[in-house]
Amino acid sequence: MTKELSHIKDGQAHMVNVENKHDSKRSACAEVKVLFPKEVWNELKERNFDHGKGSIVQTATLAGIMGAKKTSDLIPLCHPLAINYCQVQFEELTQGWKIETEVRITGKTGVEMEALTAASVAALTVYDMCKALGHKIEITDLRLISKSGGKSDYAYEAPENTKK
């Protein structure tokens, strides 16, 4: 089966025409991990994840939501969307966080890019706020976890070589 790239037409980049699509409920979830060296993570925990100017988690949460809302300003061929819902959640890991995002709309196109952008911007904000403690902070495993609505649904399944 040969699939075509939806943003390339006659060798040229273009925005997909969604004017004839019907509005439907659409959602997407993404995740990313931010991992710290042990000494940096311990320092952050001692500070109760407070930067001195405010909560690292709360600041990154707001940045993630803003990132989702600004996706079309950052990714050239994304449609500007009226987002109905955006959530950014942090799960504490051994030496870092897993950041999970969910974005929902009722519209003509999906919100995968908005969920991925929210996760990315939240992770970058964490890095920015913590880099004074050390630059060996890793942002890893950015991925789409699920999407629903539109032509097809999707759910992430770990590759066979990574399953336990």
Query: Domain with 110 in it: what CATH number?
Result: 3.30.70.640
pLDDT of residue 147: 96
Q: What is the pLDDT of residues 51-82, one digit of tens each?
A: 777 899 999 999 999 999 999 999 999 999 99
1 domain-assigned: no
Give whole-number Cα distances, 27 to 14, 48, 84, 139, 145, in Å: 24, 33, 10, 24, 11
Q: Mean pLDDT, to the nearest integer, of 8-35?
A: 87
Residue 106: in which H helix or E strand, if any?
A: strand 96-107
What total of structural domains would you count in the chain?
1
Tell me: pLDDT of 13 over 80.
Answer: no
Range of the domain at 64: 31-150
In a domain, 95, yes or no: yes
| Residues forming beta bridges with residue 137, ordered by sequence position | none
What percentage of residues in the chain have a pLDDT greater than 90? 72
pLDDT at 53: 74
- Whether 79 and 15 have beta carbons less than 8 Å apart is answered as yes
160 inside domain: no
In which band, very low, low, confident or very high, does the pLDDT at 151 lie, cut at 50, 70 and 90?
Answer: confident
Task: Provide the pLDDT for residue 12.
Answer: 76
pLDDT, position 162: 60
**Which position among 73, 128, 141, 153 bears the catalytic label?**
128
- Per-residue pLDDT, averaged over 31-55, amounts to 92
Summarize pLDDT for 76-111 with one digit per residue, the tens. Answer: 999 999 999 999 999 999 999 999 999 999 999 999
- 4 domain-assigned: no
Residue 121: inside a domain: yes
DSSP codes of every residue in 122-149: HHHHHHHHHGGG-S--EEEEEEEEEEES
Whether residue 23 lies in the annotated active site: no
